[in-house]
Amino acid sequence: MTQIPNHDLIVTIVKKGCCERIIRASNEAGAEGATIIPARGTGVHEKKQLLGIPIEPEKEIILTVIKENKTKQVLDAIIEAGNLNKPATGIAFVLELKQVVGVVHLVKQLRLDPEQAQK
């Protein structure tokens, strides 16, 4: 399988229900899609209890694989759409991906030969 170089993974964790506007903004900024994973967890501003029982708010994790030359513009769109500069709204971070496989449309689009794709 052909491997595609030069990609990042933007991981965004937000309150449940916020992911649609974030994905819309990231697509408008150049992302080609995202994966949403339901999650639970608390941040430092979200320690709530009901009858003495801690409540873990529902979250959504958005995974966006993006070409590294588009990472900044997509991350900026995510920050704006999710209001991530404000407390208790979420978090986003970027991980460098060494290799990506399974993105067949990019292989066809870039017409990469297997040797060039592995560099």
Tokens of 100: 């990506």
Q: What is the DSSP letter of 68?
A: G
Residue type, 42: T
pTM of structure: 0.78
What is the residue whose two structure tokens read 């030969």?
113
Predicted local confidence at residue 4, as pLDDT: 65
Predicted local confidence at residue 80, as pLDDT: 97
Q: Is residue 14 part of a domain?
A: yes
Per-residue pLDDT of the chain (119 residues; tens, 9 = 90+): 556 668 899 999 999 999 999 999 999 999 988 999 998 876 655 566 666 666 667 899 999 999 899 999 999 999 999 999 998 899 999 999 988 777 655 555 555 444 444 44
- Residue 15 phi, psi dihedral angles, 5° rounding: -65, 150
Number of domains in the chain: 1
Q: Is residue 34 part of a domain?
A: yes
- CA 46 to CA 89: how far, in whole Å? 10
Sequence-distant (6+) residues with CB within 8 A of 48 are 54, 55, 57
Q: Is residue 77 part of a domain?
A: yes
CATH number of the domain to which 53 belongs: 3.30.70.120
Predicted local confidence at residue 11, as pLDDT: 98
